Structure 1
Amino acid sequence: MPKINFRHDSAPAPSRIADDTERRIAWYRQRGHEVPPRRLIKTPEQIEGIRLSGIVNTGVLDLIEERIRPGMSTAEIDRLVYDYTVSHGAVPAPLNYEGFPKSVCTSIDEVVCHGIPSDKVILKEGDIVNVDVSTILNGYYSDASRMFMIGEVSDEKRRLVEVTRECLHIGAEAAKPFGFVGDIGAAIQRHAEKNGYSVVRDLCGHGVGLEFHEEPEVAHYGRRGTGMLLVPGMVFTIEPMINMGDWRVTVDQRDGWTVRTRDGKPSAQWEHTFVMTESGVKVLTH
């Protein structure tokens, strides 16, 4: 769920960062680069807590994959998400977050993100829908989304979904220890535009784990070598929103949440939560 609302007061700092990592961070800081504050570098215990939250989060999406079908309302998806999450001792993070009324975001066709489930919204043959699930387990947050193609979809929509998934993987491959957040966005933008698509610029990925939304902002476009330094122990989402047409979006003024493409053309999104390691990112949600 890519709405950003940073809070810093409740995130405890790791007690110790390896000396070599400290030296490298200091080297980049001295040269004017943006480096992560200590609170963004998670301890092994915190990473384990986020991983366990991610297991529940992945289980929710697996359940939706089994059940989703034409004729299903998005409210039914919401009920499945809520029931599965609480039965596993967890809490749906979107529920009542800044007034969001449901446990999951369901975004169909031209809805980019933050679609609100409803009994009146029925999935039909040919739809593409993003189901965005976020979970709190024992105070630890995880976040992921998948695209689902309902019945037979057009070749154009299928290709958009597939290329967007490729963008997620390409962004993850570009994320390297002691690289930069901008490396992720540059790789995603290059692949999307090469395929004739555009990248949404108003929303982004984000740090996650001890809070729903933490630093850094992970834009899905941009230039290599820019943005915050990526350091082992950082946990963040990559969640490219790729449009078939123009990248510009609008927010529904009636509900204050639903984001749509301005030109009414379809959009797709995939999302995982990752932890940065000494050798690259490791997936914590699927």
Structure 2
Amino acid sequence: MITLKSAREIEQMQRSCDILAGIHIGLRDLIKPGIDMWEIEEYVRKVCKEKNVIPMQIGVDGAMMDYPYATCCCLNDEVAHSFPRHQTLKDGDLIKVDMVLGLIEDDYADMKKVDFNDTKKMKAIMEGFRGGVADSCWAYAVGEAPKEVTDLMDVTRECLYRGIEAAQVGNRIGDIGAAIQEYAEGLGYGVVRDLCGHGVGPTMHEEPLIPHFGKAGRGLRLREGMVITVEPMINTGTWQVVEDEETGWGFKTRDGGLSCQYEHQFVITKDGPRILTSQGEERTY
């Protein structure tokens, strides 16, 4: 079921989104050659405890196992849902960090007292949570990135904003996907089809699904009050991906090419889309 969000619900999400955006800003200084990727996970967990927000990815149901971490950390050819781990980042790497947070504004739970390694406890907390939800992924070049990486990042970021700009009242979901697909494929890049954007709030994944490919003028009509994500995953080669058969979570490009992702959460208004997970003046970071 698709729900239109009230002003109160949007304000709740905005507060969560401000915290998430602040984490991404902090990661700009943390991510550099020589750090252990696990430091990203530790940093996010630390902020979650300080700000009393739920790292909502911990405990999400999976086909083979529940997701055990606060972040998804995808390196180079990894597309989505890869695990953070002990691995040294090196000059020229491309890492994408995705997270979903829920801000607690009452005495519902005290994150300082919760063991984030207890996935059963985290699942129980999430099942009763109905506060503001924030979802955003951002890409980071590690050190001095080669042109192949910076070009991919530029194209993916442009896809993000073209998709958002197409999310106008009265347009259709297909207009979002068409704007992204036309631009990326026109430059020779692949647009991942197996994963998509979605509605948000009060849970992390809601209807409608937002594909990053499609035909303009097709699909559900967009309405004022919808809160959705656009999160294109753009590859240097084929759009096809393969899934990690051991965990059922991580996806990689089928041909081993690089993949990049940017994601914003936003609300559709009569005056156009309003980005909730903004990290500052758009297109400057």
Quick one: distance in 1 between partners of 2:23 and 2:56?
A: 13
Cα contact 1:237–1:274 (8 A) shared by 2: yes
Which residue in 2 is equivalent to 1:109? 76
Quick one: distance in 2 between partners of 1:60 and 1:92?
A: 12
Deviations 1:207-244 (A, max 9, x none): 01211100110000000111211101000000000010
Quick one: distance in 1 between partners of 2:274 and 2:49?
A: 26
Provide the TM-score with structure 2 as the length reference: 0.85
SS at match of 2:245: coil
Q: CA deviation at 1:66?
A: 1.8
Provide the TM-score with structure 1 as the length reference: 0.85
Asked if 1:90 corresponds to 2:53, the answer is yes
Asked if 1:147 corresponds to 2:110, the answer is no
Which residue in 2 is equivalent to 1:45? 8
Which residue in 2 is equivalent to 1:81? 44
Quick one: distance in 2 between partners of 1:208 and 1:172?
A: 15
How many percent of aligned residue pairs carry the same amino acid? 41
* Residue 242 of structure 2, aligned match among 250, 253, 256: 250
Quick one: distance in 1 between partners of 2:34 and 2:248?
A: 27
SS at match of 1:172: helix
SS at match of 1:247: coil
Quick one: distance in 2 between partners of 1:46 and 1:230?
A: 18
Quick one: distance in 2 between partners of 1:57 and 1:86?
A: 13
Moved over 2 A (4+): none
Amino acid in the other structure paired with 2:47 = Y
Which residue in 1 is equivalent to 2:230? 238
The 5 Å alignment of 1:49-64 reads 49-64=12-27
* Residue 90 of structure 2, aligned match among 120, 124, 131: 124
Kindly tell me the number of residue pairs found equivalent between the two proteins.
Answer: 248
Quick one: distance in 2 between partners of 1:49 and 1:256?
A: 32
The 5 Å alignment of 1:198-237 reads 198-237=190-229
Quick one: distance in 2 between partners of 1:109 and 1:67?
A: 18
SS at match of 1:97: coil
RMSD value, Cα: 1.0
Asked if 1:173 corresponds to 2:165, the answer is yes
SS at match of 2:102: strand
Q: CA deviation at 1:87?
A: 0.7
* Residue 136 of structure 1, aligned match among 98, 102, 105: 102
Cα contact 1:60–1:133 (8 A) shared by 2: no
Q: CA deviation at 1:96?
A: 1.7
Quick one: distance in 1 between partners of 2:95 and 2:263?
A: 13
Which residue in 2 is equivalent to 1:23? none
Quick one: distance in 1 between partners of 2:36 and 2:85?
A: 7
Cα contact 1:60–1:85 (8 A) shared by 2: no
Deviations 1:76-116 (A, max 9, x none): 10010011122111111111222111100110110001110
Q: CA deviation at 1:134?
A: 1.2
Amino acid in the other structure paired with 1:76 = E
Q: CA deviation at 1:140?
A: 1.7
Task: Structure 1: state its 5+ residue gaps.
Answer: 1-7, 9-36
Cα contact 1:102–1:116 (8 A) shared by 2: yes
Cα contact 1:170–1:187 (8 A) shared by 2: yes
Q: CA deviation at 1:279?
A: 1.5
Q: CA deviation at 1:257?
A: 0.8
Quick one: distance in 2 between partners of 1:249 and 1:150?
A: 23
SS at match of 2:212: coil
Deviations 1:106-131 (A, max 9, x none): 10110001110112x22111100101
